[in-house]
Amino acid sequence: MKYVFMINPVAGRADASGALIPKIRAAAQTLGLPCNIVVTTHPGHAGELAASYAEAGQEAWLFACGGDGTLNELVQQAVGHPCLSVGCVPCGSGNDFIRNFGTHSDFWDIEAQLGGTTMAVDAIQTGYGYSAAICAAGLDAKVAYNIPRFRRLPFCGGSMAYNLAIANVFFGKLGTPLEIEVDVKQFSGEYMMAAICNGRQYGGGYTAAPFAMMDDGLLDIVLVKPMPRHKIPAMLALYKTGAHLSAQGTVVPQFAPYMQSLQAQSIRLRVVGGPPIIVTLDGECAPRMELAARVVPKCLSVILPQNVLDKPLAVRLPANSPL
């Protein structure tokens, strides 16, 4: 068995390798386990290393020490390769994947990570790769896509770039004409957001699917139509905490005219006569004219630290009503 920690030094606000490397070495020495530590040198480096282990068929625990993008590189290679298990030591700005299981401190306990176990979870398969947690399209993905552009402006780091990206989207055209196919149902209309969820959270903590389970063979889907601009801040506030859905899994009354929530095994979105929509897979954004996604049951082995496994799991509430 190989234990490999891949550290992305440009993830998050500061290089975490200085603090993390001694923790990994100390935990490995305590447990008597041989650990390899690699500091990545270029985008895609973690994925390249994971691909080499997959090709060799070598059993390995691969830890992404970065953000959701670093983890996603490992996921692309680990899906369908039972010899590989993927873990996460959160060093990025979002770290949405770990929110499905525990807290930042849970996953920074390296001894608990190395002493943990694996769990088979579903993944979302798209034409652009796999997603472990959430694939989103529309307004929220466009905000994430625009943040780097505003960060290039003088004095526009951090929250200022985020706020400018929101303002840019908020005052632009909200809806995109889409043809949508969910399992065997087909419909069309103007939509401003779509969240296709295997996990519960994305975007740095927005709880799009508060009742999603990562091993139930289903996608939890939220579709949002354009609404009056003055309603959007209240909707986003509820969306962030998961309060847009009731305890029964239905959309709360004030947003029922604009929002749909359902479960399915597959979905296809196609832009009709408009500009591309921005699509994000676990934080990686790009403009697309079409997005097809389906759930692949229990195709990914993830590593969970023992302190997470000792906690009770959330219980799924009754399935949402179909469209």
63/173 same-domain check: no
Q: Report the alpha-carbon distance of residue 244 to residue 232 in Å, rounded.
A: 12
| Residue 142: pLDDT over 90 | no
97/221 same-domain check: no
Cross-strand bridge partners of residue 130: 125
- For residue 257, the domain's CATH number is 2.60.200.40
57/192 same-domain check: no
199/64 same-domain check: no
Reported as a single tens digit per residue, the pLDDT across 23-77 is 999 999 999 999 999 999 999 999 999 999 999 998 999 999 998 889 999 999 9
Q: Judge whether 173 lies within some domain.
A: yes
Reported as a single tens digit per residue, the pLDDT across 171-193 is 778 889 999 999 989 999 999 99
Tell me which amino acid residue 16 is.
Answer: A
Q: Judge whether 319 lies within some domain.
A: no
- Mean pLDDT for 104-119 is 92
70/106 same-domain check: yes
Cross-strand bridge partners of residue 4: 36, 62
Q: Judge whether 224 lies within some domain.
A: yes
148/274 same-domain check: yes
Domains contained in the chain, number: 2
- For residue 83, the domain's CATH number is 3.40.50.10330
Which DSSP symbol is given to 55? Answer: H
155/94 same-domain check: no
Kind plus residue range of the DSSP H or E element containing 64: strand 60-66
Q: Report the alpha-carbon distance of residue 6 to residue 74 in Å, rounded.
A: 10
184/280 same-domain check: yes
Q: Judge whether 32 lies within some domain.
A: yes
Provide the residue range defining the domain that includes 29: 2-115
pLDDT on residue 322: 32
Q: Whose CA is closest to 203, among 96, 123, 302?
A: 96
Q: Which of 83, 115, 147 is the last residue of a domain?
A: 115
Q: Judge whether 47 lies within some domain.
A: yes
Q: Which of 56, 88, 115 is the last residue of a domain?
A: 115
Q: Report the alpha-carbon distance of residue 227 to residue 270 in Å, rounded.
A: 21
